[in-house]
Amino acid sequence: MRLCRIHIISGLLTLAFGLSVALGAYAAPGQGKLVRKKISVMPVQLVPKESRGAIKNPEEPPTKTPPVNAVAIRDAVTEAFERQPEFYTQPWADILGALETDRRLQQGMTLAKAGVDLGTNQYRNLNVSEALESLKRAAAVLHEHLGDLRNPNVAAELYLHLGLSYLEQEKMNEAFAALRSMYHYTPARRFQSGFYPTRMEDAIRRAYIDFLRSPLTVFAAPSRKYLGQLRKSAKLDHAIGLIHRADSPDSIEVHVVDIRRKATIQQSTLPLNAEGTPDAEALDRMVSRFVACDIFERIYTNPRDQRAKASFVSAHSGHHTYFKHPTRSLFHSLNMGLQFERGVSRYMAFYGGASLLSSVEDQNRNLSHQLLSARIVMGTQLRVLLRKFTLFFAPGLEVNMHSGYTVLTSVDCKYFGTDHPRCNPDNVKVIEDEVLAGITTTLGARYHINKDTFVGLETMGGFYVFPQDRRDALDLPLTVNASLGFRL
């Protein structure tokens, strides 16, 4: 009886300690874990001087363009965003790599290339109407499958011949729009004087000047469908475009495109310092403005979603018995242990735990001394996450290692002892140390005090399949536990 009191006091102290920790966590609950947004900084787009011209004369001396440290500029912008806890950056090469691994996009790119080749050959063979239709279809396929991001040279060839085809049909507005798109992909492209008729050279010059004098965009065709496909394929939240104009060599344009909202949300022009990188103070101010404008859109995980893939450790204590036993009546044990679980989805988790069992002294004295056991369980937890509750069913495996014990089935043996002449040896069953293994199932419910703490109640039952000869062995265990768990 004294041993029973010791176990009860120990369990109460453990529960009191756990409740104090839980109440402390409940008094100052966290605001939720912020999901960091993925940002990628694109390569610097270098735009030449207007005076350079689109048509190159044979006698024209070579032009020297001011050096631009494009890599240092992109690295400086990337580091500025990396310092913000709200974001994490991914190299643009990795974004393109994700597009390359998309089988559907690969197939679309193959079709687009074939369409560009077909339309180009048709134009060269003077089949202008057929070339126009082939190139328009190729443009639609190219943008639908993000082909212009992966291969801008193919896109430039497409829009060059599309513009020339429109010029052949005297559709000037459509021609200028197509030629401007060509310069978006290859801003530094020049054509040898005399290669095209004069009227086509004039159209190319006009499109070039119009391109340089107009506000530039990060994407040539930033439709909602286009940006939605980029979001779906690359799992990208924001793209940062960098544009350097040779006519403004001491500054860099920074365009922030929100892929989720499918719009450009910020445009800034930052000065370059003597090293050719953005001024650190101006860059930090720009990033801070962006964060401040985007703060209301920070995405916090729902408390139920936080539980979905979280890891928890819980302490449990309760009552244990066996429905199959060598004694004349049920005997009872106290159960205390720990359990660890790791969620893999909203509906499933893996768990493993260990517990110690100690039989309590029974009035009938069926056991001559205390029975000690150590149980190890592991398995899969199938669950339903509700607003504040989790309901679960957990099948698994159990290993039970118990000490040897002696069962007394007569009053004489219980009163006088097993060595007394009045104790018939047939009324004494000696069970040696044994290892039992079997299948267990658990039904339970938990109430989540906050995102980090829960209290629960569960019932565990099962049966043993090892060893096979268990005529006098323990079987059909049943456990009822109360638990207190904390998120790791």
pLDDT at 184: 92
Long-range (24+ apart) CB contacts under 8 A made by 25-28 are 25/449, 25/450, 25/452, 25/453, 25/486, 26/449, 26/450, 26/453
pLDDT tens column, 186-200: 998 889 888 888 889
Instruction: Express as a percent the part of the chain with pLDDT over 70.
Output: 88
Q: 429's torsion region: left (phi>0), alpha (psi -120 to 50) or beta?
A: beta
pLDDT at 371: 86
Interhelix angle 152-168/198-213, rounded to 10 degrees, is 130
Pair 197, 218 in one domain: yes
Q: Which of 297, 318, 335 is the last residue of a domain?
A: 297
Round to whole Å and give the CA distance between 277 and 275. Answer: 6
pLDDT tens column, 25-50: 433 344 555 678 899 999 999 999 88
Pair 268, 316 in one domain: no
Can you give the residue range of the structural domain that contains 358?
A: 2-29+303-487
Round to whole Å and give the CA distance between 194 and 141. Answer: 33
Pair 160, 174 in one domain: yes
| In the predicted structure, residue 61 carries a pLDDT above the cut 80 | no
Pair 271, 408 in one domain: no
HSE on the CB side for 370, CA within 13 Å? 14
Q: What is the mean pLDDT of residues 135-161?
A: 91
Pair 320, 287 in one domain: no
CA-based nearest residue to 150, from 110, 194, 119 = 110
| In the predicted structure, residue 60 carries a pLDDT above the cut 80 | no
Structure tokens at 195: 């290669």
CA-based nearest residue to 303, from 448, 114, 133 = 448
Round to whole Å and give the CA distance between 79 and 76. Answer: 5
Kindly list the distances between the CA atom of residue 8 and the CA atoms of 318, 329, 333, 360, 378, in Å, as whole numbers in the listed order. Answer: 10, 23, 11, 10, 27
Pair 471, 404 in one domain: yes
Round to whole Å and give the CA distance between 366 and 372. Answer: 15
**Overall domain count for the chain:** 2
Q: What is the mean pLDDT of residues 347-369?
A: 85
Evaluate whether 276 touches 74 at the Cβ level (below 8 Å): no
- Three-point CA angle 373, 376, 377, nearest 5°: 135
Q: Which of 270, 297, 324 is the last residue of a domain?
A: 297
Structure tokens at 428: 């004494």
| In the predicted structure, residue 22 carries a pLDDT above the cut 70 | no
- DSSP for 288-352 reads HHHHHHHGGG--BPPHHHHHHT-EEEEEEEEEEEEEE-SSSS--EEEEEEEEEEEEEETTEEEEE
pLDDT at 303: 55
Pair 25, 96 in one domain: no
CA-based nearest residue to 35, from 85, 81, 79, 91 = 85
What count of other Cβ atoms lies within 10 Å of the Cβ of residue 71?
A: 10
Pair 333, 367 in one domain: yes
Pair 65, 18 in one domain: no
Q: How many residues does the chain have?
A: 488
Round to whole Å and give the CA distance between 129 and 123. Answer: 8
| In the predicted structure, residue 302 carries a pLDDT above the cut 60 | no
Pair 149, 271 in one domain: yes
Q: Which of 297, 330, 355 is the last residue of a domain?
A: 297
Pair 100, 76 in one domain: yes
Pair 225, 346 in one domain: no
142 vs 364, residue with greater confidence? 142
How high is the mean pLDDT of the chain? 84
Q: What is the CATH number of the domain that holds 320?
A: 2.40.160.20
DSSP one-letter code for 142:
H
Q: Is 477 exposed, middle or buried (0-12, 13-18, 19+ CB in 10 A)?
A: buried
Round to whole Å and give the CA distance between 322 and 154. Answer: 75
